[in-house]
Amino acid sequence: MLVSTLVFILAPFLVSSTPVNRPTSGGAAYFMTNLDDNVVVSNKISPDGKLAIACTTKTRGRGSAGVVANPGADPLFTQDSVRVSGNNLYTVNAGSNTVVMFRIDPNDPTRLTMVGNPVSSGGDFPVSIAVSEAKNMVCVLNGGEVNGVNCFKPDPQVGLLPIQGTRRSLNISQSTPPTGPAGTVSDILFSADSSKLLATVKGTPPNPGFLAAWSISNDGSLSKDFVSSTPATGGLLPFSATPIKDKNALLVTDPGAGFSVYDLSGLSVEQNKPASSSIIPVQGQKAVCWSAFSPKTGNYYLTDIGTSTVTEASVDGNLKGAVVKQYPLAANSSTIDVAIASLSSNDFLYVLSASAKSIDVLALNAPANARPIQTLKFESALKSKGITVDGNRVQGMAVFVRGS
Ligand X SMILES: *[C@@H]1O[C@H](CO)[C@@H](O)[C@H](O)[C@H]1NC(C)=O
Residue ranges that bind ligand X, judged by CB under 6 A? 171, 331-332
Q: Tell me the C-alpha distance between 207 and 319, whole Å.
A: 25
- Shortest distance (Å) from residue 173 CB to ligand X: 7
Q: Which residues pair with 380 in a beta bridge?
A: none
Helix (H), strand (E) at residue 7: helix 2-17
DSSP state of 380: H
CA distance 130 to 269: 19
> Any idea what the Cα angle at residue 396 is, between residues 393 and 401, rounded to 5°?
145
**Spatial contact of 375 and 2, defined as CB atoms under 8 Å apart:** no
Least distance to ligand X, CB of residue 342, Å: 33
Vertex 335 angle, CA 110 and 141, to 5°: 70
Q: Compare residues 119 and 305 and give the one whose CB is closer to ligand X.
A: 305
| Residue number with CB closer to ligand X (330 or 366) | 330
To ligand X, the closest distance from the beta carbon of 245 in angstroms equals 34
Considering the complex, state which of residue 225 and residue 379 has its C-beta at the smaller distance from ligand X.
225
Q: How far is the CB of 332 from ligand X (least distance, A)?
A: 4
Nearer to ligand X (CB atom), residue 64 or residue 333:
333
**Minimum distance from CB of 169 to ligand X (Å)?**
7
Q: How far is the CB of 132 from ligand X (least distance, A)?
A: 25
Give least dist CB 80 to ligand X, A. Answer: 25
Give buried/exposed letters for 68-94 (b at 16+ CB in 10 A, else e): beeebbbbbbbbbbbbbbeebbbbbbb
- CB nearer to ligand X: give 332 or 365: 332
Q: Is the Cβ of residue 332 or residue 369 nearer to ligand X in the bound state?
A: 332
> What type of residue is 115?
V
d(CA 126, CA 118): 12
CA distance 132 to 195: 10
Give the C-alpha separation, 161 to 159, whole Å. 6
Q: Which DSSP state fits 306?
A: T
For ligand X, which is the closer residue by CB, 171 or 217? 171
C-beta of 356: minimal distance to ligand X in Å?
10
Q: How far is the CB of 243 from ligand X (least distance, A)?
A: 27
Nearest residue (CB) to ligand X, 171 versus 404: 171
Pairing mode of beta strands 196-201, 288-293: unpaired
Q: Do the Cβ atoms of 283 and 300 come closer than 8 Å?
A: no
Contact 210, 266 (CB under 8 A): no
Cα distance between residue 94 and residue 75, in whole Å: 10
Q: Which is nearer to ligand X, 86 or 328 (CB)?
A: 328
